[in-house]
Structure 1
Amino acid sequence: MADVIDSEVFRAFTTHATLVVLKMLLMAPLTAYFRITRKAFSNAEDVSSHAKSPEDKKKFIRSDPDVERVRRCHQNDLENIIPFIIIGLLYSLTGPDLSTALLHFRVFTVSRLCHTVAYVGALPQPSRGLSWMVGMLATVSMIYRTLSTVLLL
């Protein structure tokens, strides 16, 4: 096990996993920023510093398209980065070639960054769809490699 943890593949996985988790964690403050700048809150207690009267509270508790866009991007991160972390760890344990592993990790990381820019920036399709698909293909490729190694297909 010590050999795996000290391997270049595992260090590369750790680096890229940390980067995408950091990116995912930064989506929460970005959501807060959009909520504050758009004055669109989901809870009554969140509007107390903005509302001067009870009637004002009602106008600040609302949905905003920009806030919802950032929230959906964050949700998409949760749906894609967590599986990447799990399968990436298992894939790293199969002893893949360093260059192949780096390709998988880099492609996924860049695809998630591009996906966020495309989603939050409301870039025209197919930019968001393609960036999502590329990341998904990298993850599926690691799944295939992991299963084929373990099951000896």
Structure 2
Amino acid sequence: MASVSLSDPAVQSYILYSGVLALKVLGVAILTSRVRYTKKVFANEEDAKRTKSKVKHDDPDVERVRRAHLNDLENIPAFWILGALYLTTSPEAAWATLLFRLYAAGRILHTVVYAVTPLPQPARAIAFGVPFMITLYMGVKVILHYFTAL
């Protein structure tokens, strides 16, 4: 197995973009709250009472932001795991950095075109598909690297 060092530019890039993605996930949670407060729509009775709002579980704007957040929670952890494993395969730093950068940009763009300023397809499909393919690529590279080492 390859040695992974914090002085490796690929590792530094992974750490940088992992931090960006973590803040992005937190930002979408805040965006969900903002949409709820703006629309005066909450999922819990105690929140609705406190703000003199209503309980509603099917507001389209809130649900769109929640789906974007759920999509992050389904996809970004896979990037964190596979990206870290990918680093153990000693990828070229410039290539790894490009993959991490494109992944982060794609996930940010996905939130923008899905939850902030909804755009017609194929904008969301592309913004989802590029990062998904990067994650898939890293996973396959990890499997091939270690399968051939057996």
Q: For 1:70 and 1:33, how far apart are their aligned partners in 2? A: 10
2:72 aligned with 1:77, yes or no?
A: yes
Please say if 1:146 is aligned against 2:142.
Answer: yes
Per the alignment, residue 129 of structure 2 pairs with 133
Q: Which one has the largest radius of gyration?
A: 1
Shift of 1:2: 7.2
- Residue number in structure 2 paired with 1:88: 83
Question: Pick from 84, 97, 105: which aligns with 1:102?
Answer: 97
Aligned length: 146
- CA–CA distance in 2 between the matches of 1:150 and 1:3? 15
1:3-152 to 2 correspondences below 5 Å: 3-51=4-52, 60-62=54-56, 63-120=58-115, 121-152=117-148
Q: What's the offset of the Cα at 1:105?
A: 0.4
State, as a whole percentage, how many aligned pairs show the same letter: 36
Aligned to 1:54: none
Q: Secondary structure at the match of 2:36?
A: helix
**2:4/2:11 contact within 8 Å kept:** no
Distance 2:148 2:17 in 1: 27
TM superposition score normalised by structure 1: 0.90
| TM-superposition CA deviations, 1:57-91 (whole Å, max 9, x none) | 6xx11131111000000000011101000000000
- Which deviates more, 136-145 or 68-77? 136-145
Task: Show structure 1 runs of 5+ residues with no match.
Answer: 52-56
Q: 2: CA distance between counterparts of 1:13 and 1:88?
A: 7
Report the CA distance shift for 1:106/1:68 in structure 2 as closer, same or farther (over 3 A).
Answer: same
Query: What is the Cα deviation at residue 25 of structure 1?
Result: 1.1
Q: Mind listing any 5+ residue stretches in structure 2 that lack a counterpart? A: none
Structure 1 outlier segments of 4+, above 6 Å: none
